[in-house]
């Protein structure tokens, strides 16, 4: 059979169209999958980079935490810190003419090898006394932190309110014990 050039060209064009269709049929789902995989890979790569960057910061955070821990007071294991804290608050209040109506100590909480105790107090004082009291609290070597403070005047034109003061500290590690 002899095929003319025109027939050859037509056959070629038909073949190209058929291959184009086949390509679309085969490649389209693959391209979609490739895009999904590509996105997933990029997300994973970002996550890996993030984790690596975080791990690379380990020495910095360790050093910073070490410095901060040096500022925390250390108490022996089993020692009741709540009483000491209440005594301290009472002393500072008296020194600044702040009348503590009530003191309510909460239970000691532990975060890693850090401990925390909160004392909820009701008070009565003039503005200047309160200000000096708060200033003295901040000055104390022990880490005391006022997390809540409410102030409202009463009928006698004396301020009244409450505060919650947190005290953070660490405890001495017993011999042979693990330190985090």
Partner 1 sequence: MAVKALTGLAVRSRSLEWAVIHKAGDKEALASTHSVDLELGPDQQNVLAGLQAERDRLIADIRAKCGRVPSPASLGIPASWVLLRIAELPSGDPEEMKSMAELQVDKFSPFPVDESAVSYEVLSDENGRCRVLLSAIRTDTINILADALREAGIQPKWVDINLLGWWHLLKDAEKVHPSGSQVFIILEDSTCDILVSTAGIPLAMRSLSNMEDLPAEEADQDIARETAYTLSSLDLDRHGGHPTEISIWHRGASPEGLIKIFAEQFKIGSRPESLDSLPTLAEGLLRRATTRTAGRMDLAPPAWLEEANAKRTRRRIMVSSILAATLWLAGMVALFGSIQVQKSGIASLNDDLAALKAPAEKVRAVRDRTQSLTKYMDRTFSGLECLREVSDRLPPGITLKTFNYHKNKNLELNGEADEYAQIADLKQDLERSKLFVASSLSRTQRTKDGKEAFKIVCTLPGGEQP
Binding stretches for partner 1 (CB under 8 A): 4-5, 8-9, 12, 15-16, 19, 23, 26-27, 30-31, 33-34, 37-38, 40-41, 44-45, 47-48, 51-52, 54-55, 57-58, 61-62, 64-65, 68-69, 71, 111-112, 114, 127, 130-131, 134-135, 138, 143, 145-153, 161, 163, 166, 168
Kind and range of the H or E element at 43? helix 5-56
Residue among 133, 152, 130 at smallest CA distance from 144 = 133
| Least Å from the CB of residue 77 to partner 1 | 20
| Least Å from the CB of residue 113 to partner 1 | 10
| Least Å from the CB of residue 99 to partner 1 | 18
**Cβ proximity to partner 1, 69 vs 94, nearer residue:** 69
> What CA–CA distance (Å, rounded) separates 85 from 89?
6
Q: List, in order, residues 6 or more apart from 155 with CB less than 8 Å away.
A: none
| Least Å from the CB of residue 174 to partner 1 | 22
**Cβ proximity to partner 1, 62 vs 78, nearer residue:** 62
> What CA–CA distance (Å, rounded) separates 59 from 112?
19
**Cβ proximity to partner 1, 18 vs 87, nearer residue:** 18
Phi, psi dihedrals of residue 122, rounded to the nearest 5°: -105, 140
| Least Å from the CB of residue 125 to partner 1 | 12
**Cβ proximity to partner 1, 101 vs 175, nearer residue:** 101
Residue among 98, 89, 88 at smallest CA distance from 159 = 98
**Cβ proximity to partner 1, 83 vs 150, nearer residue:** 150
Q: How far is CA 35 from the centre of its chain?
A: 36
Q: List, in order, residues 6 or more apart from 79 with CB less than 8 Å away.
A: 171
């Amino acid at each position: 059979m002899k095929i003319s050039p025109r027939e050859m060209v037509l056959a070629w064009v038909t073949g190209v169209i058929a291959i184009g269709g086949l390509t679309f049929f085969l490649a389209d789902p693959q391209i979609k999958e490739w895009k999904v995989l590509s996105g997933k890979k990029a997300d994973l790569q970002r996550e890996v980079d993030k984790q690596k960057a975080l791990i690379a910061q380990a020495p910095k955070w360790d050093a910073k935490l070490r410095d901060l821990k040096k500022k925390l007071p250390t108490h022996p294991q089993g020692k009741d810190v709540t009483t000491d804290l209440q005594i301290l608050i009472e002393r500072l209040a008296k020194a600044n003419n702040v009348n503590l109506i009530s003191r309510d100590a909460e239970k000691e909480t532990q975060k890693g090898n850090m401990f925390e105790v909160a004392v909820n107090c009701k008070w009565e004082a003039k503005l200047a006394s309160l200000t000096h009291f708060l200033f003295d609290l901040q000055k104390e070597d022990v880490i005391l932190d006022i997390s809540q403070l409410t102030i409202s005047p009463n009928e006698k034109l004396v301020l009244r309110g409450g505060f919650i003061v947190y005290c953070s500290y660490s405890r001495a590690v017993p011999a042979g014990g693990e330190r985090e």
